[in-house]
Structure 1
Amino acid sequence: MKKLEEENLKLKNEIEELKNKISIEIERNRRNDKMLFQQSRMASMGEMIGNIAHQWRQPLMELSSITMELQAKLEIFGKISNQEILEAINKSNDITKYMSQTIDDFRNFFAKDKKRVQFKITEQISSAINIINSSLKQHNIKLEIIVMKNSFITGFKNEYSQVIINILSNAKDELVNRDIKEPKITLRIAEKDNNSVVEIEDNAGGVGIEPIQKIFEPFYTKNKVNGTGVGLFMSKLIIENNMNGRLFVKNGEKGAKFIIVVPKSLDN
């Protein structure tokens, strides 16, 4: 009897020790996930600053050309008509409104989502494209958008935009690094089996690793200049953990194809 009690006590102590180890590992994993998320956030902020520079460069040049034109007319003709001044003011106002909208887009992108909301797929994709479009244009990358079905989904909309930007940025980097002639990204929006399906495909030649899903592992940065290796990892976490969806990749005819599958909102 005494031996049985000793065995029970020993087993109880081992169970408690195992519980403590599990708790420690859970806490360690939680801290690691938090660190990865923060690193992804900082990397995104760095990319966003670069995108702001691209986004503002053209309108700043347009503002400069407007003032230079007015200055040239004053120096050559000695006067400017009221009509010309009004036209210059109107053009300048349009440009500054565009730049102000850019600030709102970036601020909304970094705003922390408080709760899940219902949103239309194209709205967040448009927001993402507004942020990265200037960078694509700088590298002469054509972006083709095909909308077959525009669904409502429920989730954290800013995080969804972040996923779109991460995938587009990854495609842009591959197209630039591989010096692809006539670079192109095709974005398709559709529905299948009561899910929203977004496909993002490039013509950069595809993912050359096996197994291909390894690209979603944290800190995987093969052949990517200045990459942190957390963008695609965090994108998969956002879609699969926060939105009950799936994110996977496969090689298409000319390049990589990322597929985002998220359940449609039940009331639509």
Structure 2
Amino acid sequence: MKSLEEENLLLKEEIKTLKEKISKEIETNYRKDKLLFQQNKMASMGEMLGNIAHQWRQPLMELSSVTMELQAKIELLGGVSNEEILEAIKKSNELTKFMSQTIDDFRNFFVKDREKIELKVSEQISAAINIINSSFKRNNIKVEIVVAKNSKIHGFRNEYCQVLINILSNARQELVSRNIKEPKIIIRIFEKDEYSIVEIEDNAGGIKVEPINKIFEPFFTKDKANGTGMGLFMSKLIVEDNMQGKLLVKNVEKGAKFIIAIPKSN
């Protein structure tokens, strides 16, 4: 028979082996989650590049119109007044500033976050909308933002922006695929207890899945052509694991409502 000391040694070895296996699994899952996040981000890149082109097309046309108008006046009338030149410069500066802001928003989205920073919720929503706004305009989707309390949170800027883009893109896909008349998305920003809350509500008719939380499962997608099924899964992972918050969804009268609750920064 084995002595008590031998049994203790064997038990310690088993515990050590088990700890090593657990550590290895944790590391494997961490790498897997990191890879999934990168895949989700890369899947967005094609659409992002298309959006840059659409975002820039209109201001470029307006910029061209400003210069052509000046040229026409010089050729036909022999010159322009200082007031007209200043007005043209002012308009051109506004257009280039808008284009520069668009580039900043896209660049910030793809730059790797190094540490958590303090974020103004409304600014992050504006940045997310700016990135995908052209697709809303193409599909005549109205976006309404209601700010009751513009709070601050601590988090990774790009990850939070990714969550907002994933949910907004999901709403857009539902509104377009169901051919909703007068499509609309309402974004509400407010505080409740220790949380900063963002509600994103659409009028696409609601989520036809039971149980409704199934949409957060990995690889769940109803649109095989346009989705990988990872967007909402990654969003929940980011909010709940990386930002210690909650990502919830429920059906309301006219559509679906996503609720993002993140602890307020002190």
Same fold (TM over 0.5): yes
CA apart distance, 1:69: 2.8
Q: Pairwise CA RMSD of aligned residues?
A: 2.4
Identity of aligned residues (%): 72
Q: How far off is 1:16 after superposition?
A: 5.2
Deviations 1:124-162 (A, max 9, x none): 222222222232122110111111222222222332222
Mapped contact 1:221–1:229 kept (Cα < 8 A): yes
The 8 Å contact of residues 173 and 224 in structure 1, kept in 2 or not, is answered as no
State the 1:99 CA deviation.
Answer: 0.8
Structure 2 gap segments, 5+ residues each: none
Partner of residue 163, structure 2? 163
Secondary structure of 1:219's counterpart equals coil
Which structure 2 residues correspond to residues 36-115 of structure 1 after superposition, within 5 A? 36-73=36-73, 77=76, 79-83=78-82, 84-115=84-115
In structure 1, the gaps of 5 or more residues are: none
Query: Aligned equivalents of 2:263 and 2:163: distance in 1?
Result: 16
* Structure 1 ranges of 4+ moved more than 6 A: 3-10
Separation in structure 2 between the aligned mates of residue 225 and residue 149 of structure 1, nearest angstrom: 39
1:31-75 alpha-carbon deviations (Å, 9 max, x no partner): 221210110121232232122122111101112222333444455
Aligned residues: 265
TM-score, reference length from structure 2 = 0.88
Which sits farther off after the overlay, 198-207 or 115-124?
115-124
Per-residue deviation, residues 88-134 of structure 1 (Å, max 9, x unmatched): 33322221121112111222222333222223221222222222223
In structure 2, distance between residues paired with 1:160 and 1:15? 39
Task: Give 3-state SS (helix, strand or coil) of 1:163's partner.
Answer: helix
The separation in 2 between residues aligned to 1:118 and 1:16, in whole angstroms, is 40
1:128 maps onto 2:139 in alignment: no
**Residues 91-100 or 242-251, more deviating:** 91-100
Q: Kindly tell me: are residues 213 and 85 of structure 1, through their superposed partners in 2, closer, same or farther at Cα, counting changes over 3 Å?
A: same
Q: Does the aligned pair in 1 maintain the 2:74–2:80 contact within 8 Å? A: no
